[in-house]
Each structure stands twice: as structure tokens, then as C-alpha cells.
Structure 1
Amino acid sequence: MNFNLRQAIMANIQGSNEQEVEATIVDAIQSGEEKMLPGLGVLFEVYWKNCNEQQKDQLCEQISQGLQ
């Protein structure tokens, strides 16, 4: 059996509205559970693929500042 975690996560969140996406992110961060990390990674990938270069630069700058 070939299980693709990314596809499973996408199938689970496909069609989510803005409030549902935010609730998913907030819940994942507040729970602090490592099992939520793949889902956040998929959400990040979706965001990244839909950003222009300026948005990507701003995001990387914000993350970099947050890591200081």
C-alpha cells in the first residue's frame, strides 16, 4: 500500500474556507503536538505556491526575524 501523506492532508482540507483554515492553524500551534506539523507544512506549501516573489521575500524576512 502506497500512502501519500501530502495527498491525504490535501484531501482533508480541500474546500476549507478562511475561518476553517485559520482555526486549523491556531489549533495546530496552540496544541503544540508534533503530529500537526505535516499539516502545517502542507498549508505552508499551498501558501508558498500561491505567493508572488515579493510576498515570498516578506515571508522569509518575517520568519528570519522571528528566529533571532
Structure 2
Amino acid sequence: MKTVDLRQAIVMRVQDNSAEELSEVIGDSVGADEKALPGLGVLFEMIWQESSESEQGRMVDSLYKHLHDSEFANPTPS
């Protein structure tokens, strides 16, 4: 019996999706139940690995700004 790790399972679940379906998966997962977070993490990892240094820098800058914006700095638990 072949063992599938979490990354592989997530990729297998979405690999045949269209771009529109991937967008829906992401949109439905953002802000949803915490069970979606590992999947978003795997998808982000894929984006990160394929991004140039300048694109990675923009993502880090955006994340930094969100983390230090007073509205987002101390999120309340859901």
C-alpha cells in the first residue's frame, strides 16, 4: 500500500482543476475553517517555489504590511 503525505494528497485533490476552480478553492478557503490552512499552505508553497526573487519580495512586503497594520496585527480567535 502506497503512503501519500499531506502535500501529495492536497496536490492530487486539485491538480485537475481549471484555473477558475483553483480560484474558487482558494476563495472558499480564505477565512474559512482552520482545516483549510494546510491546503492553502501547500498551494502557497507551490507559488513561492515558482516565483522570482522580486515576486517573493513583493509577497513578503505585503505580508509584513498586513502583519503590522493595526487592523490585522492582533486577530481575534474565531
- Relative to the length of structure 1, the TM-score reads 0.88
Distance 2:62 2:25 in 1: 21
Alignment gaps of 5+ in structure 2: 69-78
- Deviating above 2 A after TM superposition, structure 1's stretches of 4 or more consecutive aligned residues are none
Q: Specify the alignment match of 2:59 in structure 1.
A: 59
- Relative to the length of structure 2, the TM-score reads 0.77
Which structure's residues are more often helix, by fraction?
1
Output the aligned Cα RMSD. 1.4
Q: Specify the alignment match of 1:20 in structure 2.
A: 21
Alignment gaps of 5+ in structure 1: none
Structure number with larger C-alpha Rg: 2
Identity of aligned residues (%): 36
Q: Looking at both structures, which has the greater relative contact order when contacts are Cα pairs under 8 Å and sequence separation is at least 6? A: 1
Distance 1:22 1:11 in 2: 16
